[in-house]
Structure 1
Amino acid sequence: MLSQTPTREFGPDFILDLDDPTFVANPYPTYKWLREQAPVYRWKTRGDAIVFSRHKDVRALLLDRRFSNDYRVWEFAQDEVQWPPEHAEYKKMMDNGLFSLPDADHTRVRRLVSGAFSPRAAERMREEIQRAVDDIIADKVRGDRVDLTAITEPLPMRVISDMLKIPDAMRAEFRAFGLAVIRGSILFNRTEELFATIAPMPRWLGMLREVIAERRKHLLENDLLSTLISAHDGGSKLTEDELLSLIQALIAAGSDTTVHAANWALYTLLRHPEQLALLRADPSLIRNTLEETLRYDIFGKGGIPKFPKEDLEFAGQKLRKGQMVIPFIPAALHDPEVFPEPERFDIRRDVSQTIAFSAGQHFCLGAALARQELDIVVGTLVRRFPDMRLSGEPVFQPHPIMRAITRLEVSVG
């Protein structure tokens, strides 16, 4: 069971603080208070944003096409002139991203690439992902104790490099590019920090353009980049800018999130030895187990902001055009109206109403790949180390949007 220690005293003067260490360790008392006492919460410290926390409202918001994910719609969006010329190419890549494209282009791009990110495509990656996990375990596990984050952290970038068949000589640079993309994609970055992070971006984007140009000449089998280059729908194809943006999105949305999802899944299982024993007795429960770990104790603090395209009313609340609206998915995943006894971890629970990967037109494009990676890394560790147990509490790192575990030490026996 989750602890019921509140973040701070709740009441009319309560101010939501996602950086409060007590909230990071256990945000669920706060979510419970929001659902019950302030299901439409006005968050003035985040630019007069509105937070929704009940499952029915959060799901409806995710499905409502009157809202955009494009930050340029925000009423307090940064002025374009704040971007200096040396960062123009990075800005263009971001503007061509799935979250930034107008609805028609968003639909077109998703239709073009959906086959490359299907469950069948993810299944074709199983052997490569398993090999990557085995290699990392062999490299990182020395002796009786191991920090599990040393295994989970390098995996997604290794998998993405394998999927794109990045040449070996370029992999170190590609990883540096990926880490910069992850840091640069964190919301609410200060502008000067962002510009420092992406300073080498012209060199990295030049590298990727070289890889794309070479791949156009020599398409490869079972290669994501070749698939994206060849994707067409009638006369429509992906532009090179859209290709770059998809690579960026794959890294931004599929790296950090997968790492934290794996860390929290392992931490949750190790805190519930009776459920871990059930999984070991019946490995076929792994997929449902992972969905339940995401529901029970997900790594995100809130949700991806959305912005009304016009003045409108939603869930009885009048909203301004461009006003920030945040669907708090973790709060919704503990709504007892949908998930009875939400603070009970049960790997046999019906999780069909989960929205851990969002919903609607912005349902996570890489969900199948993320599930496959989680399946393999968590399943392999559970299988390989039957005596694995926690050696202490996790160590957290400050992060604006995630409950980021940076150390999770275990004894592997």
Structure 2
Amino acid sequence: MDEFALDMDGPSFLADPHPTYRWLRECAPAYVWQPRHAVVFSRYRDVKAILNDRRFSNNYRAWEFAQPEQWPPELADFQKLLDNGLSLLPDHRHGPVRRLVSSSLTVRSVERMQSRIQRAVDELLDVTVDGGRLDISKFAAPLPARVICDLLAIPAEMREDLCAFGLAAAKSANIALPPDELIASISPTPRWVAMLRRVIAERRENPREDDLLSTLITARDDGAKLSEEELLSLVFTFFVAGGDSTKNAIAWGVHTLLRHPAALAEIHRDASLMRNAAEETMRFEMFAKSGFPKYCTEAMEFAGVSLRKGQMVLPLIAAALRDEDVFPEPDRFDIRRDLRQTISFGSGQQTCLGAALARMQLVTALGTLFRRFPEMKPLGEPEFEPHPLIRSMKKFEVALH
């Protein structure tokens, strides 16, 4: 890599990015990526520090090259969803909203949802298994939207529409989409939002004890509660954040375990190992490429580099998770590894709010697949689809017997 040029879209990187990440950590831990006008950080200590430093904002409007948005009037509802998202809320609302959501998605509360997630996994497998074959991506893609609809107790007659909303919401996060394709994918937003408003109104009148939407509606933080616009935006965020990421966590989890038959044999002997094994697949084969960018809210010196106000920085979580200073023998897949320092789901205030829910889906899906199909084998290598943020599998077929 004497004449190194970072390329996260090439076929060799998509298949195996780790030689690139290793070079970055060892030779250019603060790499200036000229085409993106960004600085790329790849060492664990720097990545974690960025995730925990409030001088780095998620708000894309803080970027030095940000342009005023010009959404057509008919997409005013979509703009409201964005404007009320956590990353754009003012400081006095960000903390309370985050705490309200966190209190509704604790590990304990998600554990109570496991039976619904299991039912969704079983039913999706029943309709996607094709004889003795299964496309893991086809099975995993609809799971997050299906689970969110279950957890929000969306009425049956609205589910098909709102699952479509979930898939479109996830697609809208792809910043590489041409504007016309983006607008086409989210054009039904007013109809979807109207449906959600009806569900919220009904649930305010008749709250339930066992659904996430009722919990969010009734949650309080020092007397504060979520506004309806914040509720709508959170539902949108659940769909976006859980879409491509959960699909690929499952797909890469299957791919990784199939490449390590000795570890898989251990899991077959002791199913309790699956939880840590799933976490190790996220460390070993984190599917994020550049991850979500951050923007400097002030000029600063960081990790020996001068950063401008508004400059984009890219903390490479996938590279940090193979840092040998933190994870001994990082290129060895070890389902018994101590993973207390993992940052697969972020860190501190930047920890994914739905981390417990995503983990539950991953563990349930992997556990069910390998329990039902213990002889599963890959049918070739994955096929990839264009995506600016992740190594997204378009297709990954396995033989089940």
- TM-score (structure 1 length as normaliser): 0.94
Question: Which residue matches 2:35?
Answer: 45
The answer to whether the Cα contact below 8 Å between 1:296 and 1:345 also exists between their aligned partners in 2 is yes
Question: Which residue matches 2:68?
Answer: 79
Q: Which amino acid aligns with 1:30?
A: T
SS in 2 for 1:307: strand
Question: Which residue matches 1:370?
Answer: 358
Decide which moves more: 321-330 or 233-242.
Answer: 233-242
Question: Which residue matches 1:133?
Answer: 121
Question: Which residue matches 1:144?
Answer: 132
Between the aligned residues of both structures, percent identity stands at 55
Cα distance in 2 between the residues matched to 1:143 and 1:194: 35
1:104 CA drift (Å) = 3.0
Moved beyond 4 Å, runs of 4+: none
Cα distance in 2 between the residues matched to 1:103 and 1:358: 20
1:188 CA drift (Å) = 4.0
Residue from 195, 206, 210 that aligns with 1:207: 195
Question: Which residue matches 1:183?
Answer: 171
> How big is each residue's C-alpha offset from its partner over 1:353-378, in whole Å with a ceiling of 9 and x where there is no partner?
11110101120000001111111110
1:39-118 equivalences in 2 (<5 Å): 39-46=29-36, 48-80=37-69, 82-118=70-106
Cα distance in 2 between the residues matched to 1:91 and 1:236: 24
Question: Which residue matches 2:180?
Answer: 192
Q: Which amino acid aligns with 1:63?
A: N
SS in 1 for 2:210: coil
1:14 CA drift (Å) = 2.3
The answer to whether the Cα contact below 8 Å between 2:120 and 2:146 also exists between their aligned partners in 1 is yes
Q: CA RMSD in A?
A: 1.3
Cα distance in 2 between the residues matched to 1:68 and 1:240: 25
SS in 2 for 1:51: strand
1:140 CA drift (Å) = 2.3
Residue from 321, 331, 335 that aligns with 1:333: 321
The answer to whether the Cα contact below 8 Å between 1:303 and 1:326 also exists between their aligned partners in 2 is yes
SS in 1 for 2:31: strand
The alignment status of 1:232 with 2:220, answered yes or no, reads yes
Gaps of 5+ in 2: none
The alignment status of 1:304 with 2:292, answered yes or no, reads yes
Number of paired residues?
401
Question: Which residue matches 1:26?
Answer: 16
- TM-score (structure 2 length as normaliser): 0.97
The answer to whether the Cα contact below 8 Å between 1:70 and 1:101 also exists between their aligned partners in 2 is no
Cα distance in 2 between the residues matched to 1:100 and 1:23: 32
Cα distance in 2 between the residues matched to 1:378 and 1:61: 31
The answer to whether the Cα contact below 8 Å between 2:85 and 2:230 also exists between their aligned partners in 1 is yes
Cα distance in 1 between the residues matched to 2:287 and 2:293: 16
Query: Structure 1 residues 143 and 197, CA, compared in 2 at 3 Å: closer, same or farther?
Result: closer
Question: Which residue matches 1:164?
Answer: 152
Cα distance in 2 between the residues matched to 1:252 and 1:315: 32
